[in-house]
Amino acid sequence: MPDRIHLKAFGMLAEKMGADSLEIENPGSSEVLKQQLLAQFPELKDMTFRMALDRKLLQADTDISQGQEIALLPPFSGG
């Protein structure tokens, strides 16, 4: 079975990545995923965002297992 994970992006991150929901190959950990995303979408380097694994905010580099969901969460300021 292929080792894949779900990726969800919000706000400006979804705009920059061109999609708000993707299925990707499991990079193994949240930090590896982040580096992959920054390489693929250089505009993300200048953007503040947090990551959540299965809807829990990550505090540090964390292993990702097959089928888990990572969310990329930028801050919103509008009102």
Rounded to an integer, what distance in angstroms lies between the CA atom of residue 32 and that of residue 7?
A: 14
How buried is residue 72: exposed, middle or buried, by Cβ count under 10 Å (0-12/13-18/19+)? buried
Q: Which is nearer to another protein, 40 or 48 (CB)?
A: 48
Closest alpha carbon to 61 in 38, 27, 25: 27
Q: Per CB under 8 A, does 76 bind another protein?
A: yes
Site for another protein in 14-53 (CB under 8 A): 20, 46-48, 50, 52
Q: Per CB under 8 A, does 77 bind another protein?
A: yes
| Residues near another protein, by CB under 8 A | 8, 10-12, 20, 46-48, 50, 52, 55-57, 59, 71, 73-79
